[in-house]
Chain A
C-alpha cells in the first residue's frame, strides 16, 4: 500500500498520503494523541478500546475516504504498523470492511487482526504497556 508504485486515481492519492503520514509519525518532533478511546476528534493517532489490547491507530482522515492504520508499540518510540482499513466506506483496493460505528464488529475484528498479525511476526515479544503517553512516545501531545 505505501511502497508504490501507485496507480492513478483514489488509491494512489490515498496511499501516497498515508505513506507521508506514516513517515511523519516516525520523524515528527510532536504528534497529537488521543489517549482516551472514543474521544478522538482531530488527533493524529489514538489509543483504541480496549486499552489492554495495546492497539493504536493512525487516523488518516483526509482526503476521503478516511483510513485507519493499526499499530502497536514494540518499545518506546518504536511502533509496527500491521494492518489498515477504510473508516466509513468500502474501497475497492483494500479488502477490508469499513470500520463504521465505534463499537462495531468491524472495529473489534480490526483490532483482533492487528493482534494476530503481531503474534505472527513477534511471537515472543509483547507490545509495551504504559500508563502515560511518555511511556510510548516522545513528543506526544494530548
Chain B
C-alpha cells in the first residue's frame, strides 16, 4: 500500500497559522517516536549483551527488578522519558542528545514488493534514492537502521 506523502502531511504543511493538527495524527507521530526510542535502546542492550550484560545485571545496576526490566524491554508502550534515561545509563552509561529533522519536503520513497508478488509491467520503476537519516539519537546504533517514512507499509527489508 502506498499513501501519498503529500496528503498525509497536509496538516503539517499549513504553517503556524494552519488548522489544529488532529489528535490521531499526533498519536501517530508519538507512536513513531516511542518505537524509535525503543528500538534504539534494544539495539544498545543487544550490543552490550555481547559484552556480558544481562537483564539481571541491568536491573541491579539501576535498582529495578527483573520483572520491571522485562517490561521496559518488552514493548515500546512501557517506556517513559525517565525509563529511557535509566536504561541508557544502566546499559551503556550514555544519555540522549536531542536532534530533529524536518518531516516536510523529503524525497518520496517506498519499498519494492518481493519477487513473489506478480506485478504489472513497470519497466521504468526503480527504487528511489534514500534521503538522509531522519533522527540522530546518539552514536553508532542509529547508523544501522533507518526510520520509515509514512508510505512504507510492506515488508521488512
Interface residues of B, count at CB 8 A: 45
A11 to chain B: closest CB distance in Å?
8
Q: Which residue of A lies closest to B40 (CB)?
A: A29
How many residue pairs, one in A and one in B, have C-beta atoms under 8 Å apart?
129
Give Cα A42–Cα B153 distance, bound, in whole angstroms. 23
Interface residues of B in 73-98 (CB under 8 A from A): 73-78
Check if A19 sits within 8 Å of B28, measured CB to CB: yes
Give Cα A99–Cα B157 distance, bound, in whole angstroms. 31
Q: Which residue of B lies closest to A137 (CB)?
A: B156
Give Cα A131–Cα B152 distance, bound, in whole angstroms. 28
Most B Cβ at <10 Å: residue of A6, A16, A41: A16
Check if B42 sits within 8 Å of A141, measured CB to CB: yes
B146 interfacial contact with A, CB 8 Å: yes
Contact bitstring B138-157, A, C-beta under 8 A = 1, else 0: 00010011111010111111
Check if A12 sits within 8 Å of B23, measured CB to CB: yes
Give Cα A122–Cα B140 distance, bound, in whole angstroms. 40
Give Cα A137–Cα B43 distance, bound, in whole angstroms. 15
Check if B46 sits within 8 Å of A141, measured CB to CB: yes
Contact bitstring B28-51, A, C-beta under 8 A = 1, else 0: 111110111011001100100000
A121 to chain B: closest CB distance in Å?
10
| Interface size class, chain A | 35 or more
B34 to chain A: closest CB distance in Å?
8
Check if A16 sits within 8 Å of B24, measured CB to CB: yes
A23 interfacial contact with B, CB 8 Å: yes
Check if A12 sits within 8 Å of B24, measured CB to CB: yes
Pick the contact of B153: A26, A75, A141 (CB < 8 A): A26
Sample of 9 more A-B contacts, CB < 8 Å, known A13-B23, A19-B153: A12-B27, A26-B156, A27-B148, A27-B156, A29-B39, A29-B144, A42-B74, A44-B75, A138-B156
Q: Taking beta carbons and an 8 Å cutoff, which residues of B are in contact with A?
A: 1, 3, 8, 22-25, 27-32, 34-36, 38-39, 42-43, 46, 70-71, 73-78, 111, 114, 116, 141, 144-148, 150, 152-157
Q: Taking beta carbons and an 8 Å cutoff, which residues of A are in contact with B?
A: 2-4, 6-8, 12-13, 15-17, 19-30, 32, 41-44, 59, 61-62, 74-75, 77-79, 122, 125, 137-138, 141
Pick 6 A–B contacts, CB within 8 A, sort by A.
A8-B22, A24-B35, A26-B153, A27-B147, A43-B74, A138-B156
